Amino acid sequence: MVKVKCLFLGIGLLVGTGVFAQNIITIDATAAKTTINKNIYGHFAEHLGRCIYDGFYVGEANKTIPNTDGVRNDIIAALKKLKIPNLRWPGGCFADTYHWKDGVGPKDKRPSIVNTNWGYVTEDNSFGTNDFLNMCELLGTEPYLSGNVGTGTVQEMLDWMQYTNFDSKSPMSDMRRQNGRDKPWNVKYWGIGNETYGCGGHMTAEYYAGMYRQYVSFMRNDGKNNLSFVAAGAKNDDYHWTETLMKGVPLYMLDGIAMHHYSYVDWEKKGSASVFNETQYFKTMKQAVWMEELVARHSAIMNKYDPKKKVGLVVDEWGGWYDVEPNTNPGFLYQQNTMRDAMIAGVTLNVFNNHADRVRMANLAQCVNVLQAVILTDKEKMILTPSYHVMEMYNVHQNAKLLPLTIQTNKYVLGDGKLPAVSASASIDANLAAHISLVNIDAKKTQKTTVNLKGRKFSTVTGRILTSKRVQDCNSFEEPDKVQPVIFKDVSLNGSMLTVSLPPFSLVVLELK
């Protein structure tokens, strides 16, 4: 049995009482044009550690944990509350060693393989294509399939697409019917490989551009499915990769280009997920804040070749990455989730919202029991992490219209380092309610903030806040509700002007009507 407890350094990061000079945010409430694509709030489920097995999937024979076809009912209910728009599967690095035909048909006849990417454990393929796509139907979410380019073939991916999408008679649709599914699932989103610069084949950008063109040349739209193809993209600031794809692939063949970025203390010495000091917290937040520059610069390259912004930037892996919890398999990437991770999520989602003209999809890594998970499980127990609560608070932005803003923010200062203390994003929904997301990453200082809503006056404001006594605080199986949103009262509204006091390491979502 795996148990995770929240541990704290003696010095802690206690809530401070100091208040900086005022931050100023100006929002143009008359300039709502760009839609914040709901797919920005996507998630990721890889055959890695306890994400699928002993996470989502406990097996049809399990009589202890309530489930539907082996998938936990409590996880389904929790994710439906998040309104998750899409779920990426089966990887990650696992995708480029995965052969989908191993995971269909009678479960007792499916071949086992060794998961060479994550822990060298046996993968029995009991959770496969039918299981995943049926689970997506339970969730009411779009599946996003990551195809095998590293060890697969064009024909294998074509067969997969025919199995999932073709309605009439064909070899693969006949196989689907033999496996108990008559109607196709009509999978729209297809990733052509994963991290092909690394675990997906260690390819050059030029080589992969040719591979991508070959695959998509044969993955034709049959007129019934509005297919969307995503190219495996860059790691962090590899701008050459993005430029090579934009220059080397015709726009009609390209719907999205991926980009991956994780936040950590130091890649070679990541440190504990729950035992950290302010210096380690600051370094992690520096990586999170870097997302603004990464998205802006990749977008600028894409703008050169695609000024009409047909192609989306798809950040289909992001989140915090630390050392695994003590006494767990190093290849399982099981880590706790604290207020530090809530800050990563809030800052990152504000970046995506504000770049909604180019960012069309993103996937937090990962959904259950891996990296910056929104859900942790221990046998029959399940807890929601601080990152879960951020995603739930922010889902008001899904498919709402972006309200452009400018921000003048104080700095979060530690030693010689400086980071913007406050970040924000805003939108207006179909019912003309405005929502403003505010994050203060400063570990010690309250940030007093004024928000000027140009062009419109509101009569009421309500809000919720996510914070805690220490930035290391988390939800554990012993204290599952230690960190959760509560009503926020430290806000006043005067016509089109808001005054807000943001406590240290806090996240606030306001609603104005």
Out of 46, 123, 142, 195, pick the active-site residue: 195
- Look up 60 and say whether it is catalytic: no
Position 19 pLDDT exceeds 60: no
Please give the distance of CA 113 from its chain centroid, rounded to a whole number. 28
Give the pLDDT confidence score for residue 220 in this predicted structure.
78
Angle 423-421-452 from CA coordinates, rounded to 5°: 50
Peptide linkage before 366 cis (omega within 30 of 0): yes
Average pLDDT over every residue of 79-102: 97
Task: Identify the band that residue 13 occupies on the pLDDT scale cut at 50, 70 and 90.
Answer: very low
Contact 512, 453 (CB under 8 A): yes
Give the pLDDT confidence score for residue 227 in this predicted structure.
94
Average pLDDT over every residue of 169-197: 97
Give the pLDDT confidence score for residue 223 in this predicted structure.
60
Domains in the chain: ranges and CATH: 23-30+404-512 (2.60.40.1180), 37-400 (3.20.20.80)
Which residue shows structure tokens 């404001």?
461
- Other beta carbons within 10 angstroms of residue 7's beta carbon come to 15
Task: Identify the band that residue 163 occupies on the pLDDT scale cut at 50, 70 and 90.
Answer: very high
Task: Identify the band that residue 125 occupies on the pLDDT scale cut at 50, 70 and 90.
Answer: very high
Average pLDDT over every residue of 464-493: 97
Query: To the nearest 5 percent, what fractions of the chain are helix, strand and coil?
Result: 30, 30, 45
Give the pLDDT confidence score for residue 495 in this predicted structure.
87
Task: Identify the band that residue 21 occupies on the pLDDT scale cut at 50, 70 and 90.
Answer: low
Average pLDDT over every residue of 320-345: 96
Task: Identify the band that residue 333 occupies on the pLDDT scale cut at 50, 70 and 90.
Answer: very high
Q: pLDDT tens across 297-317, in order?
A: 999 999 999 999 999 999 999
Show the 3-state SS of 306-374: CCCCCCEEEEEEEEECCCCCCCCCHHHCCCCCEHHHHHHHHHHHHHHHHCCCCEEEEEECCCECCCCCC
Give the pLDDT confidence score for residue 88 in this predicted structure.
98
Contact 78, 373 (CB under 8 A): no
Give the pLDDT confidence score for residue 224 in this predicted structure.
67
Provide the b/e sequence for 70-79 (b: ≥16 CB within 10 Å): bbbeebbebb
Q: pLDDT tens across 426-467, in order?
A: 999 999 999 999 999 999 999 999 999 999 889 999 999 999
The burial of 97, by beta-carbon neighbours within 10 Å (0-12 exposed, 13-18 middle, 19 or more buried), is given as buried
Which residue shows structure tokens 């207006």?
428
Position 9 pLDDT exceeds 60: no
Measured CA to CA in angstroms, residue 24 lies from 160, 291, 450 at distances of: 52, 22, 5
DSSP track, 375-388:
EEEETTEEEE-HHH
Give the pLDDT confidence score for residue 226 in this predicted structure.
86
Of residues 411, 388, 450, 422, the one with CA closest to residue 506: 422
Mean pLDDT of the chain: 94
Pairing of strands 42-44, 359-364: parallel
Give the pLDDT confidence score for residue 150 in this predicted structure.
97
Out of 46, 123, 142, 317, pick the active-site residue: 317
Position 260 pLDDT exceeds 80: yes
Give the pLDDT confidence score for residue 2 in this predicted structure.
42
Position 206 pLDDT exceeds 60: yes
Give the pLDDT confidence score for residue 449 in this predicted structure.
97
Position 119 pLDDT exceeds 50: yes
Q: pLDDT tens across 374-420, in order?
A: 999 999 999 999 999 999 999 999 999 999 999 999 999 999 999 99
Contact 208, 215 (CB under 8 A): no
Position 176 pLDDT exceeds 90: yes
